Amino acid sequence: MQTATDLKKQLSEINHKSYPAYKSLRGGYQFPGYVLFIDHVQGDPFAAPSRVSVHIDGKTAGFPKTLYDTRPKRIALQDYLLRLFSRSIESYSFRAKGSGKSGLIQVSRCGQEILERTACTLNPKDGALILGLQIGFPASGRTIQSQELAKILFDFLPVCVEKTLYYRSLNPRACSQVAQLTEDQQAIRRQLQERRLAAFVANGSILPRESGVSDKPMRSAVPFSSPASLEVTMDLPNRGTIRGMGIPQGITLIVGGGFHGKSTLLHALEMGVYDHIAGDGRELVITDSTAVKLRSEDSRSISNTDISLFINDLPNKGNTKAFSTADASGSTSQAANVVEAIEAGTRLFLIDEDTSATNFMIRDELMQRVVSDSEEPITPFISRVRELYHHLNISSILVAGSCGSYFHVADTVIQMKEYTPYDITERAKKEASAFPAVSSSGHPFLSPSFHRHPIPDGTLKDRDRPKLKAMGKESIQVQKSVTDLRCVEQLADSEQLHALAVLLFEAAANYMDGRRTVVQIVDLLEKQMDTKGLSSFGEASFSYDLARPRRQEIFACLNRCRNLRF
Ligand code: ADP
Ligand code: MG
């Protein structure tokens, strides 16, 4: 193993040489307390920055096992350390000078959700820590300025490592609070299952966000408080007993006037599939972790999906048991989203009328009288929502501000009034009984069949010089194949999209053989992530900017890829 002194010597030897001489630095160097790896060196100062990692052995890092003895606690600790490190190194970016990206220091920026990221990994066996980052190796034009790189590697980086990655430098109370919050969050998740709840919102939670572009909690928001009839207590290992609204499994309707906080509540439930950091306001808002937000999604592609639960007898005689289109309508896209979410193993649908196709959600009585059922290909969701719960045990939480018909099928009706929920189930049921219920569809409930074996086309199979990227939270690109993910609303971070690009590429290369089903393929991807980690995929090696997506979003991504045929 070379040492820090060797690195210093090599840096001075390549100073003022042409940029590719930086490549000679690849390898590991023993610094006091850690090994610095130069994993990948960029081709020129304008290219994507170089990748560097800090490896600290378990004994030196010194984190007590109790802080990472379960998977969720380990992920929360990794997330916490990454935040500390990132905050500490931020101010050093571009302090070293040069052209293009020279001097850039980039580490994953964590949002409000706690995600498993490749930027910081702690070995569950021995507590060894790896922190990865991107550095723009400095040059002026294409002439190496290695004294500037020396500033980063010998002055800036060691200070930040010392301050944030050793247990002895940290506040032990703050570290154990991270673990304690995670234990409490997991306890709520377990109790949801045991008590047949779809979601829990603790009293005092702050649901609205600061603004459309900031995910921080809104200041001076009205804190959440549960209606008495829906209030449940949760016994938590650290906080003790807390109270809040328990949304039962089954069908729940959220109603209320415009601007009273319906969508805000639903959005908090959507993101409640993830754990949140302390101070977020939603750290005790916990939703069934398989929940899927369903919406209409005009113009998405659909490949071999059985949407006959909702759509039959199309005028063009299209087969809706194996439906494909390159340009779906609002209702067919939402029908496909439901069926694909079933295949992805969801136990809870979340639907907002604001983003739904009206003809998919409802067919009112007058319309039924004028246009007979036999002329209407669509069986609306309202006719299926009970059956989905009865036959497949999938609950639904729906926001409906304008459509009263759902009162008939709901088990629980919550009214949002000035941001506070009220349980109006009894009153709503009584009023509804005076109105005719929507007649159920003529089509019997047949569980959708899944015979889907994806095969990639030539675009995805192109192996040379893989080009994988994420365009924010909008879309991903794998070679020349672009997949639009704008309507997959539970993606929390662009790093998850980047990981989806890696997974799509790897699945197309190694797992999609035309015989495996999409479920088997996602199982294999998840198994590899569970056992070897996200960075074990070839195209992920030394990528310190990936975050693990949920199973449901992996399905969503594969299903939207236009270069797969199922
Ligand atoms: P709806 O879906 O019922 O029309 P929204 O959920 O979109 O209403 O909320 C309307 C506005 O009220 C949003 O700007 C939101 O940020 C704000 N808001 C929501 N909940 C609260 C709250 N608890 N306290 C303060 N403002 C809130
Ligand atoms: Mg709304």
Give just the sign of the alpha carbon dihedral 196, 362, 344, 109. Answer: negative
C-alpha–C-alpha distance, residues 148 and 270, integer Å: 45
C-alpha–C-alpha distance, residues 131 and 116, integer Å: 13
CB atoms within 10 A of CB 72: 17
Can you tell me which residue has the tokens 């070679």?
479
pLDDT for the residue numbered 403: 81
pLDDT for the residue numbered 462: 80
Q: Global pTM?
A: 0.97
With a 6 Å cutoff on the Cβ, whether 55 touches ligand 1 is no
Strands 348-352 and 395-399 come out as parallel
Distance 36 CA to ligand 2 centre (A): 50
Residues β-bridged to residue 227 = none
Can you tell me which residue has the tokens 């997330």?
79
Strands 214-217 and 251-255 come out as unpaired
Which ligand is nearest to the Cα of residue 355, counting in written order? 2
Which ligand is nearest to the Cα of residue 262, counting in written order? 1
226 touches 245 (CB < 8 A):
yes
CB atoms within 10 A of CB 435: 12
C-alpha–C-alpha distance, residues 223 and 238, integer Å: 22
Half-sphere exposure in the Cβ direction for 484 (13 Å, CA): 11
With a 6 Å cutoff on the Cβ, whether 421 touches ligand 1 is no
With a 6 Å cutoff on the Cβ, whether 402 touches ligand 1 is no
3-class secondary-structure state, position 273: coil
Distance 259 CA to ligand 2 centre (A): 7
Q: How far apart are the first and last CA of the chain?
A: 49
pLDDT for the residue numbered 440: 63
Using H for helix, E for strand and C for coil, what is the string for 82-94?
A: HHHHHHHHHCCCC
What single-letter DSSP state applies at residue 49? Answer: P
Look at ligand 1, atom 27, and give the residue with the nearest C-alpha.
Answer: 208
3-class secondary-structure state, position 565: strand
340, two tokens: 């694909």
- Geometric angle at alpha carbon 471, from 504 and 512, rounded to 5°: 10
447 touches 426 (CB < 8 A):
no
Q: How far is CA 533 from the centre of its chain?
A: 16
With a 6 Å cutoff on the Cβ, whether 259 touches ligand 1 is yes
pLDDT for the residue numbered 441: 64
What single-letter DSSP state applies at residue 19? Answer: G
523 to 21, 129, 352: CA distances (angstroms): 43, 28, 30
Distance 357 CA to ligand 2 centre (A): 14
Q: What is the pLDDT along the chain (566 residues), one digit of tens a residue?
A: 999 999 999 999 999 999 999 999 999 999 999 999 999 999 999 999 999 999 999 999 999 999 999 999 999 999 999 999 999 999 999 999 999 999 999 999 999 999 999 999 999 999 999 999 999 999 999 999 999 999 999 999 999 999 999 999 999 999 999 999 999 999 999 999 999 999 999 999 999 999 999 999 999 999 999 999 999 999 999 999 999 999 999 999 999 999 999 999 999 999 999 999 999 999 999 999 999 999 999 999 999 999 999 999 887 777 899 999 999 999 999 999 999 999 999 999 999 999 999 999 998 777 777 887 777 889 999 999 999 999 999 999 999 977 888 999 999 999 999 999 999 999 999 999 888 776 666 788 999 989 999 999 999 988 888 899 999 999 999 999 999 999 999 999 999 999 999 999 999 999 999 999 999 999 999 999 999 999 999 888 899 999 999 999 999 999 999 999 99
User: Of the residues 259, 267, 398, which should be mutated to test ligand 1's pocket, given the most ligand atoms within 8 Å of the CB?
Assistant: 259
CB atoms within 10 A of CB 508: 26
Look at ligand 1, atom 9, and give the residue with the nearest C-alpha.
Answer: 261
Can you tell me which residue has the tokens 């609306």?
380
Which ligand is nearest to the Cα of residue 265, counting in written order? 1
CB atoms within 10 A of CB 348: 24
Question: Backbone dihedral region of 465: left (phi > 0), alpha (psi from -120 to 50 degrees) or beta?
Answer: left
What single-letter DSSP state applies at residue 509? Answer: I
pLDDT for the residue numbered 439: 64
C-alpha–C-alpha distance, residues 127 and 61, integer Å: 7
Q: Which helix (H) or strand (E) holds 6?
A: helix 4-14
Residue type, 168: R
What percent of the chain is helix, strand and coil (3-state, nearest 5)? 35, 20, 40
Q: Per DSSP, which regions of 265-337 are E strands?
A: 285-287, 292-294, 302-305, 323-325
pLDDT for the residue numbered 283: 98
Give just the sign of the alpha carbon dihedral 307, 309, 314, 319. Answer: positive
Nearest partner of 336 among 362, 312, 300, 361, judged by Cα: 300
Which is the closest atom of ligand 1 to the Cα of 420? 23
With a 6 Å cutoff on the Cβ, whether 326 touches ligand 1 is no
Distance 405 CA to ligand 2 centre (A): 18
352, two tokens: 């907002």
Strands 285-287 and 197-202 come out as antiparallel
